[in-house]
Amino acid sequence: MLSRSETGRIPPRAKPAGASTAASKAGAKAPAASKAPAARSATKLGALHDAKVVDPLGNERHKTPFASIYAKGGIPCRLQHGSVRHKLVWTTPGAPASLDYDPVFVTFCQGLRETQHPFVFVVHEGLREMMDAPGARDKVVQLLPQIVAPLRGGLSQEDKRLWRRCGRWRRAMSPTILEQVGGEDAVAAVVDIFYNNLLKDERVNSFFVNTNMERQRKMQTKFLLHVLGGREYNGKSMSKAHEHLKLTDEHFDVVLETLAAALRTAGVGEDLIKTIIATADTTREDVLGRSHKAQ
């Protein structure tokens, strides 16, 4: 029978020892459990690209302007986690086609050096969607001089994945240049003018002693088609092909200068020449062997 207290009331049943401790522990674990799906999504996303996952809104120091601007809410899109795949949600109506590519596209290119998530996914998916938007290629061609610096920065890194990603974007951004120059025949004509001038330049002509120039011209034409039009290049890697020459920045500058002169002789406009030289300049780090560890 239940005993009564002196007041006549039935005292409450005593809780089993340790019950309150167990309950408090269970309550403490509940918030963590509610966050588990998001944490798993972020982890899967990072594993997909073999990258570290970080809090994009955290206070840690950011590697690029893109990450810093993203953390402050200045990038017009956000990552939406999905059970099957992740996607970007643009916060500007009509985006990405309605975006002002200068500076948005340039800022995304600055993020190409990112190696942590969610930045890697946002940068590459954002660039892909902007490149696929109507009228994008004409906008991108005009921005190539501004894009050179971030592309060169990525191509000079020793991280193989980073180097390959930047190489893919360099090729993806250049096909319309070839069309504006006049196609493959026009490039071959420019190469002829280019070598005629280069062989007369005492600053660099010593590099071509005992060189089969007919073969050299063919290789250079393929290389320019690769750089300007995103075509496949089946020759040696640029760093290996040039490593025995011990080239310097001064030599590379002479080559760009001579290429610009050849383009003028061929009747190419100054604005397009600037774009072509800027695009060719993205190969500097590789040609000079400063990204050889990334291959």
- pLDDT exceeds cutoff 50 at 35: no
Q: Is 150 exposed, middle or buried (0-12, 13-18, 19+ CB in 10 A)?
A: buried
CA trace torsion 286, 120, 45, 53 (10° rounding): 100
Q: How far is the CA of 82 from the CAs of 37, 86, 126, in angstroms?
A: 10, 5, 17
- pLDDT exceeds cutoff 90 at 237: no
* Residue 113 · residue 63 · CB < 8 Å: yes
- pLDDT exceeds cutoff 80 at 74: yes
Q: How far is the CA of 24 from the CAs of 16, 130, 158, in angstroms?
A: 14, 50, 50
Q: How far is the CA of 170 from the CAs of 34, 112, 132, 146, in angstroms?
A: 42, 11, 15, 13
Residue 14 banded pLDDT, cuts 50, 70, 90: low
Give the best-scoring range by mean pLDDT among 1-10, 56-65, 240-249: 240-249
Residue 105 banded pLDDT, cuts 50, 70, 90: very high
* Mean pLDDT to the nearest integer, 131-135: 93
- pLDDT exceeds cutoff 70 at 108: yes
The architecture (CATH level 2) of 175-294 comes to Orthogonal Bundle (1.10)
Q: How far is the CA of 227 from the CAs of 82, 134, 145, 178, 278, in angstroms?
A: 37, 23, 14, 9, 11
Each residue's pLDDT tens digit, 177-215? 777 788 888 999 999 999 999 999 999 999 999 899 999
* Mean pLDDT to the nearest integer, 157-165: 76
Among 86, 76, 74, 12, CA closest to 46: 86
Each residue's pLDDT tens digit, 240-289? 778 888 899 999 999 999 999 999 999 999 988 988 888 888 888 888 88
Domain residue limits, the chain: 53-134, 175-294
